[in-house]
Amino acid sequence: MTGFETLIGILAATIAAATPLLLAALGELVVERAGVLNLGVEGMMLVGAVAGFAAAVATGSPAAGIAAAALAGMVMALLFGVMTITLLANQVATGLALTLFGTGLSALAGRDFVGIPLNPLPRIAVPGLDLLPGLEPLLSQDVLVWLGLAMAPALALFLGRSRAGLVLRAVGENHGAAHELGHPVAAVRYGAVIFGGAMAGLGGAYLSLAYTPMWAENMTAGRGWIALALVVFATWRPGRVLVGAWLFGGITIAHLHAQGMGFAVPAQFLSMLPYLATIAVLVAISRDAAQIRLNAPACLGKVFHPER
């Protein structure tokens, strides 16, 4: 294998490893820009993964699996929304409970699907790919990869250029003022939370339908928490989420290539790299509290009382 082919293979593997992080983080970014902090991303990803896999196995249709994963994530997010937006429960505690609930529910629902093989999602090649020899592994990706790549600029335009995006940001910055101006704060937050759940479900579906087309208990392996860190790392900007996801995706596969190159480093340490990088990034960011206050939505995590 030539150096060019090796490079293309590494880039393709990086994009694949980054896709579940990208999908989940973009969804959580919208949720947080609306002023809601949902720590249940990991649980929603797991439920989306098992729902997508079960639907694909039952129907033989990858599209049905993708739709089921998005729907499962939306249902989980709706549960979170009812608890925090309508019943005014603490968002941090509810999000943690959602992750615990999703972990247990996915393990229970997936018992009968362990060990069942499944064909991965079909790849969609870029037209004219035959004119670009050697780039097929990089430019021939499945629909969820293309969705993630398209969603980052789409959300940047939505949040920065559209009226609906500006209303969502206004709700996240000052929900009281937005309410006084006549904006439906609860409805906006419900929409953002449900969208975030759908994206987290799709991130889980990518793991069980494409990345490793199988179901295994706890197969997200902490990716939901990394997605949460990515939002902070990206200072709540979609373009930076894309770059950050690729960075963490590259770190995720680094230990595989390091082992293949014969580096005498314990495999357990190399497997820790993505999580060590997450901790290092969060520590580095937290040192600049002023920068976080400048970029974070002012009402993030705050309960909205319409009567006040």
- Which range in 76-85, 224-233, 270-279, 288-297 is most confidently predicted, on average pLDDT? 76-85
Note the pLDDT tens digit of each residue in 28-49.
Answer: 999 999 999 999 999 999 999 9
Over residues 231-251, the mean pLDDT reads: 90
Which range, of 26-30, 165-169, 187-191, 295-299, averages the lowest pLDDT? 295-299
Residue 293 CB-density burial (10 A; 0-12 exposed, 13-18 middle, 19+ buried): exposed
Note the pLDDT tens digit of each residue in 102-122.
Answer: 999 999 999 999 989 899 999
pLDDT of residue 47: 98
pLDDT of residue 286: 67
Q: Identify which has the larger pLDDT, 39 or 263.
A: 39
Which range, of 2-6, 21-25, 119-123, 207-211, averages the lowest pLDDT? 2-6
Asked if the structure places residue 54 within a domain, the reply is yes
Asked if the structure places residue 302 within a domain, the reply is no
83 — pLDDT class (breaks 50, 70, 90)? very high
Asked if the structure places residue 215 within a domain, the reply is yes
pLDDT of residue 299: 93
Residue 240 pLDDT more than 80? yes
Q: Identify which has the larger pLDDT, 281 or 151.
A: 151
Cα distance between residue 260 and residue 257, in whole Å: 5
Cβ neighbours for 205, distance < 8 A, ≥ 6 positions apart = 48, 49, 51, 52, 53, 65, 66, 69, 70, 144
pLDDT of residue 267: 64
Which range, of 103-107, 289-293, 304-308, averages the lowest pLDDT? 289-293
Cα distance between residue 24 and residue 44, in whole Å: 9
DSSP character for 82? I
- Residue 208's closest CA among 195, 198, 221, 197? 221
Residue type, 292: I
Asked if the structure places residue 51 within a domain, the reply is yes
If residue 141 lies in a helix (H) or strand (E), which one and from where to where?
A: strand 140-142
pLDDT of residue 84: 96
Asked if the structure places residue 305 within a domain, the reply is no
Asked if the structure places residue 64 within a domain, the reply is yes
Over residues 138-163, the mean pLDDT reads: 94
Domain that includes residue 177, residue range: 7-295
Buried b (16+ CB within 10 A) or exposed e, 155-180: bbebbeeeeebebbbbbbbbbeebbe
Asked if the structure places residue 304 within a domain, the reply is no
Asked if the structure places residue 174 within a domain, the reply is yes
Residue 305 pLDDT more than 90? no
If residue 140 lies in a helix (H) or strand (E), which one and from where to where?
A: strand 140-142
CATH of the domain at 283: 1.10.3470
Average pLDDT in the chain: 89
- Residue 224's closest CA among 74, 98, 90? 98
The model's pTM is: 0.93
Number of domains in the chain: 1
pLDDT of residue 306: 77
In the chain, alpha helices (H): 3-33, 41-59, 62-81, 91-109, 136-139, 143-161, 163-173, 175-180, 185-206, 223-233, 238-260, 267-271, 273-286, 289-295
The dihedral sign for the CA sequence 59, 60, 66, 67: negative
140 — pLDDT class (breaks 50, 70, 90)? confident
Residue 296 pLDDT more than 80? yes
Cβ neighbours for 268, distance < 8 A, ≥ 6 positions apart = none
Over residues 259-288, the mean pLDDT reads: 69
pLDDT of residue 258: 64
Note the pLDDT tens digit of each residue in 208-224.
Answer: 999 999 999 999 989 99
Per-residue CA distances from 213 to 44, 165, 250, 291 (Å): 18, 35, 20, 40
